[in-house]
Amino acid sequence: MNRYEAILVGISIMVVCLYHLHLYIKVKRSPETTAVGMTNLMRQQWVETIMAERRDILAVQTLRNHVMASSLLASTAILIALGIVNTVLRPAGFQEISHALNIVGTRSETLWVAKLMLLAVDFFLGFFNFTLAIRYFNHAGFGLGLPDQHVGVASHEFVVEVVNHASLHYTIGMRCYYLAIPLGLWIFGPTWMLAGALILVPVLYRLDRTV
C-alpha cells in the first residue's frame, strides 16, 4: 500500500469512526434526538403495553416480522460472504477489472485479496449479529407471553432489555451492510472508498436523527 492510498483509507476510516462515536455520545446524552434512542424508548413503552393489556397477537406478529427480516438479512450476508471467499479463490477476470479502475492505489494481488477478505469478514459479522437478533427476539417472545403472576420471573424491565438487545444486534447487522459500501468500493481504489465514506456518513446522519 503506497502512502497516498494509506492516507485516503485512513481518512475514510476516520470519517466513519468519528461519526459513529458522535452517534454513540448522542444516544447516551440525548437519546430523544436520535432514531436509536427514540426506538429504544418506544420499545420500552410497547413492551409495557403488551404485557399489561395482554395483546399477545400483536406481540407475536411484531416479533415474527423482526425474525423474518433478520433471517433474510442473515442468509443474504452469509451468501455474500461465501461468494466473496469464492472470488478470492477463483479471481478470474474480476481482479483485472478492479485494477483497471484503481487509478492511484496499489495494484498488489496481496492487498486485493486482503480487501476482499476484509469485506467478507464484514458480512460474516453482519450474519453473526442478525443470528443473535433472532435469538433475542425468540427469547423476548417467551417473556411477553408470561401472565402477570410470573412478573418476578420476567419483569417488564427484563423483557425490555431483551428486546433492546435484539434490536441492537439488528442495528449492528445493518451497519455492517452499510459499511460494505466503502469497503466494497475500496476494491476499485482508495478514491472510490473515500467517496463512498463521504456519501455514506451524511445519509446515515439523516437517518439517525429525529430532529
Residue 166 has a pLDDT of 93
Per-residue pLDDT tens over the stretch 44-102 = 888 888 777 777 788 888 888 999 999 999 999 999 998 888 877 775 555 555 555 55
**pLDDT-flagged residues of the chain (< 70):** 1, 91-108, 147-154, 211
Residue 92 has a pLDDT of 58
Give phi and psi for 209, each to the nearest 5. Answer: -100, 145
Give phi and psi for 103, each to the nearest 5. Answer: -80, -45
* Structural domains counted in the chain: 1
Residue 184, C-alpha cell as written in the block: 466494497
Supply the range of the domain harboring residue 12. Answer: 3-208
Q: Can you tell me the distance from the alpha carbon of 155 to that of 158, in angstroms, rounded to the nearest whole number?
A: 5
156 vs 11, 84, 198, CA distance in Å?
44, 43, 41
Burial of 86 (0-12, 13-18, 19+ CB in 10 A): exposed
Give phi and psi for 34, each to the nearest 5. Answer: -120, 150
Residue 200 has a pLDDT of 94
